Amino acid sequence: MSFSLSQAFKPARARFAGAAVAAPRVLASSSARLYWSTKSAFSPQDIHNVSHGPDHIQSKMSSNKQLRNANRFREFDLEGRVFAITGGGRGLGLSMGEALIEAGAKVYALDRLETPHPDFIAAQEKSATEYGGTLEYIRIDVRNNTEVNNTFAAIAAQNERLDGLIAAAGINHLQSALEHSQQALDNVMTINYNGVFNSATAAARQMFNYQVKGSILLVASMSGVIANKGMTSPVYNSSKAAVIQLARSLAMEWGRHGIRVNSLCPGHIITPMVEEVFQQNPAARATWEAENMLGRLAMPEEFRGAALFSLSDASSFMTGSTMLIDGGHTAW
């Protein structure tokens, strides 16, 4: 799919990402005029004014009564918002997706699995009966840039918006550097790096197109900042370092347009990916447990809060950040 910036900045439709967005205004700065030459209801300045203006998320909380009712922490509310999660068919991506659904969002899980994990079906049923959010599955391979762009365009067109992305699709490969095959090197890099790049750019295109102030969370790993003991995976580790740096770079490019980009660096989590590692190297479990300050591995559900925080208005001043959540693994 060919794409140009001039196409991206054509205001397709003025959309607001949520209640915290301030009233429409005409842009004043010259750089902003570059992108919104006509009078637009959307202004990247609005988000910068949130913390000082009368519409600040906390200043609206006028009484204790309000604090006790359903408006409590409404900056976490995702009702009416639309998100895509790559790798959402199982594991960490699915758990984070469930958190967004619980907050009222519509979530599209994009994964290459022929059929998603049984946990996905359970989450889908629960979303319909208990939360009012929705969960849909679309089979894609994040390496295929055309497919990724078309999928994100279709999701955005169907909903006339796209509010966020969690790029969680990834693979691990345990092999020493000198024995690493070229094929495995390509495989890890094209999924863990190119796939994340494809997904983030496809999501941002739709955010520009529908003028939504979106949030993008790239799932890296603590292995992107350390060479972690008991896991010989030089290519995986460096692919995750590249993801951390990509998040910073995209945050710099898109921040003034209201799109935030952050990375998440989890420690070891018990997911299907890690269970495969334990099959190959059963001793890894004890080593990993001993290497963090809590003396245990994480469950995927322990990242629900991070997902909700980073994809909602609760994190409106966070961009270019690296969220390290690892039970203290990298802190000693």
Ligand X SMILES: NC(=O)c1ccc[n+]([C@@H]2O[C@H](COP(=O)([O-])OP(=O)(O)OC[C@H]3O[C@@H](n4cnc5c(N)ncnc54)[C@H](O)[C@@H]3O)[C@@H](O)[C@H]2O)c1
Q: Which residues in this chain contact ligand X in the complex, by CB under 6 A? A: 86-87, 89-93, 111-113, 140-143, 168-171, 191, 195, 219, 221, 266, 268-269, 271-274
The SS3 of residue 184 is: helix
131 labelled catalytic: no
Nearest CB to ligand X, comparing residues 215 and 221? 221
Nearest CB to ligand X, comparing residues 195 and 234? 195
Least Cβ distance, residue 142 to ligand X (angstroms): 4
The SS3 of residue 19 is: coil
In 3D space, the residue among 137, 68, 65, 76 whose CA is nearest the CA of residue 103 turns out to be: 76
Marked catalytic residue, from 35, 108, 210, 240: 240
Q: C-alpha angle 44/48/52, rounded to 5°?
A: 145
Least Cβ distance, residue 85 to ligand X (angstroms): 10
Distance (Å, rounded) from C-alpha 331 to C-alpha 322?
Answer: 14
Least Cβ distance, residue 90 to ligand X (angstroms): 4
Distance (Å, rounded) from C-alpha 218 to C-alpha 235?
Answer: 18
In 3D space, the residue among 224, 229, 237, 236 whose CA is nearest the CA of residue 290 turns out to be: 229
Least Cβ distance, residue 144 to ligand X (angstroms): 8
Nearest CB to ligand X, comparing residues 4 and 280? 280
Nearest CB to ligand X, comparing residues 47 and 244? 244
Count of beta carbons in the 10 Å neighbourhood of residue 272: 14
In 3D space, the residue among 77, 88, 1 whose CA is nearest the CA of residue 313 turns out to be: 77
Q: Which DSSP symbol is given to 185?
A: H
236 labelled catalytic: yes
At residue 221, what are phi and psi to the nearest 5 degrees?
-175, 155
Least Cβ distance, residue 227 to ligand X (angstroms): 14
Nearest CB to ligand X, comparing residues 14 and 113? 113
Is residue 17 within 8 A of residue 46, CB to CB? The reply is no
User: Catalytic positions, please?
Assistant: 236, 240
